[in-house]
């Protein structure tokens, strides 16, 4: 299926609407053995008197917790959608998916220890970050209240971790998933069991993306196994216009 481009102005700051807040916070990571940073977006009208769903939104191999903020304007896209009554109430957490002491995207970002750190993030997310968010923010704590999505390396992480932890996430999205995505048979050794609880499984990729074969093979396997999912091809390559468009469309489907 072809994914249409978001309407003109979807990512432009609007003065005349309520705005949320996006801030950097620190949490203790027992996995890494240090404090780690993430960014958290709270929506317009945020109050501790109500409970919110949570989207964990992951970056690519060359980024960190700031990547979406610097390049993707998530707070602007989400503010505009909230103003147009197109989103369910949610908090968005932007972690650093490179779980190691020096988690900056510097030097050889493809070094084995840095690639390994993206795998280690699964423990950091489940055992450190999610408990932190659920302790300090008024959020709903069921698997139906958590979504996991990401771009490129983060897309691969979302599929790997989402399928590996069906009791944690019922909404999973991969935008231009990178080759860190496990092979389908390894990703889903028991397809029906791994996806039984999923309310949304989203795959998307730009038509000109050199990594499109990763999404193609995952889609083909899901189709072969009759696993319900949304598969979108869209204009563009491995770049921000694609990922911003994905966030615009994906976020509107969550927590319905």
d(CA 187, CA 167) in angstroms, rounded, equals 16
CB count in 10 Å sphere of residue 136: 11
Left, alpha or beta for 190 (phi > 0: left; psi -120 to 50: alpha)? beta
H or E segment to which residue 200 belongs: strand 200-206
Q: What are phi and psi of 150, to 5 degrees?
A: -170, 170
Residue 37 has which token pair? 């940073």
Q: How far is CA 136 from CA 93, 121, 139, in A?
A: 13, 20, 9
pLDDT one digit per residue (tens) for the chain, 256 residues = 999 999 999 999 999 999 999 999 999 999 999 999 999 999 999 999 999 999 999 999 999 999 999 999 999 999 999 999 999 999 999 999 999 999 999 999 999 999 999 999 999 999 999 999 999 999 999 999 999 999 999 999 999 999 999 999 999 999 999 999 999 999 999 888 888 899 999 999 999 999 999 999 999 999 999 999 999 999 999 999 999 999 999 999 999 9
Indicate the pairing of strand 53-58 with strand 146-151: parallel
């Amino acid at each position: 299926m072809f994914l249409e481009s978001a309407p003109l102005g979807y990512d432009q700051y609007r003065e005349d609407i309520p705005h949320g807040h996006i801030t950097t916070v620190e949490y203790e990571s027992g996995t890494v053995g240090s404090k780690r940073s993430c960014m958290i977006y709270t929506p317009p009208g945020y109050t501790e008197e109500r409970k919110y769903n949570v989207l964990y939104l992951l970056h690519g191999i060359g980024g960190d917790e700031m990547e979406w903020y610097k390049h993707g304007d998530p707070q602007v896209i989400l503010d505009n959608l909230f103003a147009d009554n197109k989103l369910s109430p949610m908090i968005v957490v932007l972690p650093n998916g490179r779980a190691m002491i020096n988690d900056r995207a510097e030097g050889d970002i493809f070094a084995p220890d840095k690639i390994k750190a993206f795998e280690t993030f699964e423990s950091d997310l489940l055992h450190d970050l999610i408990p932190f968010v659920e302790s300090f923010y008024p959020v709903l704590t069921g698997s139906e209240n958590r979504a996991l999505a990401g771009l490129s390396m983060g897309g691969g992480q979302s599929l790997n971790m989402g399928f590996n932890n069906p009791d944690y996430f019922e909404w999973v999205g991969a935008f231009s998933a990178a080759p860190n995505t496990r092979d389908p048979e390894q990703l889903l050794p028991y397809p029906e069991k791994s996806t039984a609880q999923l309310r949304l499984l989203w795959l998307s990729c730009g038509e000109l993306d050199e990594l499109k074969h990763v999404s193609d093979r995952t889609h083909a396997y899901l189709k072969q196994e009759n696993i319900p999912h949304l598969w979108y091809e869209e204009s563009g390559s491995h770049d921000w216009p694609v990922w911003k468009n994905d966030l615009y469309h994906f976020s509107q489907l969550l927590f319905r």
